[in-house]
Amino acid sequence: MNEATSSNGEGMNNEERLLELAKNKPEGISNEQIKQCMPNLLLEELAIIINKCLKNGSLELFKTKDKLLYKYKDSSKKNIVRGSDNEEKIVYKIIEEAGNKGIWIRDIRFKSNLNMTQLNKVLKSLETKKIIKAVKSVSASKKKVYMLYDLEADSSVTGGAWYQDQDFESEFVDVLSQQCHRYLRQKWDDANNMGGGPLLARNRSYATANDVHKFISELGISKVSLSVDDIESILYTVVLDNNAERIVASNGSFLYRAVNKFMSTPGLVKTTCGICPIANRCADTGLINPQAF
Amino acid sequence: MSVQYGKVISLILLERFGPVVEKVGAYLFKYGTTPLLYIKKSTNLPLSKVKESLCILIKYRLVTFQANRNENLANYTLQHDRILLMLRYPKYINLIKKKFGNECEMIVEEILQRSYWTASEVIMKVIERLKKDHNKVVTILSLREKFLTLLRAQYLGRLPYSQDDKPVPTLVITEIDHNTPPNIDPKQISLVQSNKATVESLPDNGIYWTINFDRFHQDMRDKLIVNAFTKRFDENGGEFVRLLLQQMYIRTTPWAEVSNPVPIVEIRDIVRKQATHQHLLAFFDQYVNVLEQDSTNLIRKAGDASGGSFQIYLKETFTQFAWETVEQIVLEKFDSKAARIFRLVKSKQYIEPDQIQQLAMIPAKEAKRISYQLLEENFLQVQELKKSSSNGPNKCFTLFYVDLEQIVRMILELCYKTLFNIMTRKNHERFVHKRIIDKKQRVDTIIMGMRAQGAAEEQLADIEEMITPPEREILQKIELTMKKLNSVELEIDETIFLIQMYLVYK
């Protein structure tokens, strides 16, 4: 009795030690390594412990180059799969491997070798159990990818801050772009009003993306939190609109500054013909002609 | 040279010289250099008429001639670019008025109207006009000074003349001719004025002067550059560039692509002497710095000798201006998103459609629509890269790029088309309301006649009432439309000028 409890306690101890060992080596441990670390453990006992761990899923078995490797697996996740059948386990594993990028249903089918109806059933049951979720990808509107329920989808799938429910929020981008331009323009005006010569004014009017980020955050126009990188890409659109210029600062980051254009609106587009969408179909005869407008 | 261009030229000729000259001009435009009899045959006009039209065109320097191989026949060539310049006359006159004042304006105006004239006769005419219109008396001597100023500044040039006595003379002009001022004798002029001597007795009879358009264009170009720099930087920056250009002429031929280095000390001295731009003087070094370090890189430092010398890159300046103009046109014609895509493609040179929507932050569908719309309107071009398809799927990349020169030429065409449309519209308005306009003219002449006879105010009012209120309203409307169309015509000419400058430097 006493012996039994002690051996039992030892067994527990050994199991914990083994798992600890496996945890420290995420790439896996081999039989030899286990022996080195736990020399007083009998091979039979080890076999029992490993079998037990493999059964409840806290260890995984891998085979590389004719060597058996044991890998630790987080048991908190595994708990969800408890009570599921083998198909669900396999599908779960495939989805888990895909990480936060998600995996397409066709790829699951190829990897799991399940047929379509069966797979659909499995996916549905996993979805209702809130183990996995389906996320619509922005790159292809009809393509759904599956990933674990508690994962945050990658920005390549959701499109980052600029997407809401797979729709690009162009108005949001426009407003931000306007505000960024306004900030730069304000900075430029302030710098000019301070006086002290054009060089000083120019140097004062440069703003980093961090400055603009702070300004936008304080404005509170954005519901989602924007990163500095997001602001960089917004500022780039301001540069593309020819309202600002971008230079590289000495530390490698970008500096932005509002600039004026050289040219005012050319005379051509002040005329009706300059902006007429059907100007190239216009002639002195026919329905579209200068006499008829 | 296009159909549209030909149409504009025909309209200008028609407006200024009438249908016969227009027919001859249009024929010459279409067929290039041709001898007299060909023109007669194809236009079906009597020989005398053709001759007369050619005379008019030659007088206005719109047609040039050259001897055929047998030297007894002349081949006529239409100078179509000169015809287009006729639309710019108001601008030339305005330019001179701003720079030299009223008297010089009149001199230029008279010469423009006649194409060429002798110095003495111009002076006589201007004196007469000033007396009549402004009740102002100016001396011959002061006008002579004005004329010589224009000559020295090269706004006027000597008309080429023939030296040998051949059936088809070749017109020549030498450097000396350009630089010898005419002999203007005030005494003789006053004798001619009081009809005591004939015009032929003037010492400079037969020495004709004409407008040197190139000089005007140079001024207009400089003004364009200065205005642009003023807009981008501020007034002081513009002033700096103006002085830089002014100093450039001392060392460089006017149409060189890059100015020779101008020492900065010189410009500083001028600013100090002028004393108009205190701010520029106070922060002179800073302004130089800012202009030099601008991202467009149009003004560059050439060397450190004598306090540094600077060059202005005129060719690149106009390339930059052309880019901006095209961008603005895209902006106005489409929208800001299209302009953004256009500039993105420009900055990346070659770009894939996927990248466009990512970098321009435009939804995929819209980005696609806009870029293909720009492609359809020829603002963007597509380059397809096909991977060899011997085996495997056929892979194809689509890359967008911009061809500035092609766009610029397209816009120039559009300018001509717009010009044509505006002129046609003007004629159309005139045609539709011909009756009312004629009536107004008749009434006006009657009133003028009666006023000259000393008629009472009541009588005048009676006649003025012949135009009913609704008619008056229509007349006002026409006047407004005409005004608008005229000003738009000048605006388009500005765009044409800019584009032509770009093409000159190209």
Please report, for chain A, the start and end positions of each structural domain, with discontinuous segments joined by +. Answer: 2-73, 78-166, 170-258, 267-293
Contacts of B418 in chain A (CB under 8 A): 268, 271, 273-274, 279
Mean pLDDT of B298-325: 85
Mean pLDDT of B425-454: 87
Residue B193's closest CA among B140, B145, B142?
B140
Both B166 and B230 in one domain: the answer is: no
* Contacting residues for A198 by C-beta, under 8 A, at least 6 apart: B233, B234, B236, B237, B283, B286, B287, B290
Q: What is the CATH number of domain A170-258?
A: 1.10.10.10
Contacts of A260 in chain B (CB under 8 A): 231-233
Tokens of A80: 């969800």
Contacts of B7 in chain A (CB under 8 A): 284
Q: Alpha carbon of B461 to those of A77, B219, B453, B457, B458: distances in Å?
A: 102, 48, 15, 6, 5
Q: If you classify domain A2-73 with CATH, what class do you get? A: mainly alpha
What's the 3-state SS for A192-234? HHHCCCHHHHHHHCCEEHHHHHHHHHHHCCCCCCCCHHHHHHH
Q: End-to-end distance of chain A based on CA atoms, in angstroms?
A: 108
Both B189 and B252 in one domain: the answer is: no
The shares of helix, strand and coil residues in chain A, as percent rounded to the nearest 5, are 55, 15, 30
Residue B498's closest CA among B212, B349, B485, B506?
B506
Query: B234–A284: do the CB atoms touch at under 8 Å?
Result: no
Both B219 and B307 in one domain: the answer is: yes
In a domain, B86, yes or no: no
Strand-pairing partners, residue A272, are none
Q: Indicate whether A7 pLDDT > 60.
A: no
Residue B126, phi then psi, degrees to nearest 5: -65, -40
Contacts of B286 in chain A (CB under 8 A): 197-200
Q: Which long-range contacts (CB under 8 A, 24 or more apart) does B472-475 make?
A: B474/B433, B474/B436, B475/B433, B475/B436, B475/B437, B475/B440
Range of the domain at B254: 215-312
- What is the structure's pLDDT at A2? 42
- What is the structure's pLDDT at A57? 67
Give B152-161 pLDDT, tens digit per residue: 888 888 888 8
B333 and chain A in contact, CB less than 8 A: yes
Query: Structural domain tally of chain B?
Result: 5
Q: Are A47 and A70 in contact (CB under 8 A)?
A: no
* Contacting residues for B2 by C-beta, under 8 A, at least 6 apart: B413, B416
Both B138 and B194 in one domain: the answer is: yes
Considering B371, B402, B433, which residue would you say is the last residue of a domain? B402
**Three-state DSSP state, B313:** strand
Contacts of A173 in chain B (CB under 8 A): 361
DSSP sequence for A40-76: TS-HHHHHHHHHHHHHHTSEEEEEETTEEEEEE--HH
B235 and chain A in contact, CB less than 8 A: no
CA atoms within 13 A on the CB side of A85: 7
Q: Token match 């006499």: residue?
A: A291
Q: Indicate whether B267 pLDDT > 70.
A: yes
- Put simply, the chain B residues between 384 and 403 with a CB less than 8 A from any chain A CB are none
Window from B51-65, B146-160, B169-183 with minimum mean pLDDT: B169-183
**Average pLDDT of chain B to the nearest whole number:** 85
In total, the C-beta contacts within 8 angstroms joining chain A to chain B are: 143
Nearest CA in chain A to B228: A262
Both B191 and B287 in one domain: the answer is: no
Integer Cα distance of B257 and B314 in angstroms: 5
Query: A290–B424: do the CB atoms touch at under 8 Å?
Result: yes
Tokens of B396: 């194809």
Q: Are A280 and B253 in contact (CB under 8 A)?
A: no
Both B239 and B286 in one domain: the answer is: yes
A4 and chain B in contact, CB less than 8 A: no
User: What CATH number is given to the structural domain containing B238?
Assistant: 1.10.10.10
The Cα of A237 is separated from the nearest Cα of chain B by a number of Å equal to 6
- What is the structure's pLDDT at B483? 92
In a domain, B29, yes or no: yes
pTM equals 0.78
Percent pLDDT > 90 in chain B is 10
Contacts of B414 in chain A (CB under 8 A): 268, 273-274, 279
* Two domains, one topology: A2-73 and A170-258: yes
Both B108 and B184 in one domain: the answer is: yes
The CATH number of domain A78-166 is 1.10.10.10:
yes
**Three-state DSSP state, B186:** helix
- What is the structure's pLDDT at A82? 57
A168 and chain B in contact, CB less than 8 A: yes
Residue A181's closest CA among A159, A153, A155, A207?
A207
* Contacting residues for B278 by C-beta, under 8 A, at least 6 apart: none
Contacts of B324 in chain A (CB under 8 A): 242, 261-263
Top-confidence residue, B23 or A151:
B23
In a domain, B207, yes or no: yes
Closest CB to A202: pick one of B290, B327, B333. B290
Please name the amino acid found at residue B210: T
Tokens of A112: 């799991």
Both B197 and B225 in one domain: the answer is: no
Residue A256, phi then psi, degrees to nearest 5: -120, 150
Both B293 and B241 in one domain: the answer is: yes
Nearest CA in chain B to A248: B295
Integer Cα distance of B271 and B268 in angstroms: 5
Give B93-149 pLDDT, tens digit per residue: 999 999 888 888 888 888 888 888 888 888 888 888 888 877 777 788 888 888 888
Window from B171-180, B225-234, B296-305 with minimum mean pLDDT: B171-180
The Cα of B338 is separated from the nearest Cα of chain A by a number of Å equal to 10
Query: B422–A242: do the CB atoms touch at under 8 Å?
Result: no
Considering B187, B211, B235, which residue would you say is the last residue of a domain? B211
Both B354 and B437 in one domain: the answer is: no
- Put simply, the chain A residues between 177 and 216 with a CB less than 8 A from any chain B CB are 177, 197-200, 202
- What is the structure's pLDDT at B246? 86
In a domain, B319, yes or no: no
B309 and chain A in contact, CB less than 8 A: no
- Put simply, the chain B residues between 4 and 23 with a CB less than 8 A from any chain A CB are 7
Mean pLDDT of B360-367: 82
A292 and chain B in contact, CB less than 8 A: no
In a domain, B93, yes or no: no
Mean pLDDT of B452-474: 82
Mean pLDDT of A265-287: 82
Q: Are B326 and B407 in contact (CB under 8 A)?
A: yes
